[in-house]
Amino acid sequence: MRIEVRAATLDDVEGIVAVAVQAWEKGFRGIVPAEIDAREAWAPDRLRARLRDDGVARAVAEVGGRIVGFVTFGASRDRDAGRRTGEIWALNVHPDLWRHGVGRALVQHALDELRRLRFKEVSLWTLADSERARAFYAACGFRPDGAEQRRRALGSPLEVRYRLGLRPLTPQFAPKALKNR
| Binding residues vs ligand COA (CB under 6 A) | 23, 27, 91-93, 98-104, 126, 130, 132-133, 135-136, 139
Query: Is the Cβ–Cβ distance between 17 and 44 less than 8 Å?
Result: yes
Q: Which residues contact 159 (CB under 8 A, 6 or more apart)?
A: 125, 126, 127, 128, 148, 149, 150, 151
Taking the least distance from each CB to ligand COA, the nearer of 67 and 133 is 133
Taking the least distance from each CB to ligand COA, the nearer of 153 and 177 is 153
Taking the least distance from each CB to ligand COA, the nearer of 118 and 143 is 143
Residue 100: how many CB atoms within 10 A of its CB?
Answer: 15
Distance CA(90)–CA(7), nearest Å, equals: 15
CB of 37 to ligand COA, least distance (A): 16
Distance CA(84)–CA(168), nearest Å, equals: 13
CB of 84 to ligand COA, least distance (A): 22
| Residue 152, amino acid | R
DSSP conformational letter for 119: -
CB of 175 to ligand COA, least distance (A): 33
CB of 87 to ligand COA, least distance (A): 11
Taking the least distance from each CB to ligand COA, the nearer of 84 and 100 is 100
Taking the least distance from each CB to ligand COA, the nearer of 17 and 118 is 17
CB of 63 to ligand COA, least distance (A): 11
Query: Could you tell me which of 62, 65, 67, 59 has the C-alpha nearest to residue 15?
Result: 67
Distance CA(181)–CA(152), nearest Å, equals: 64
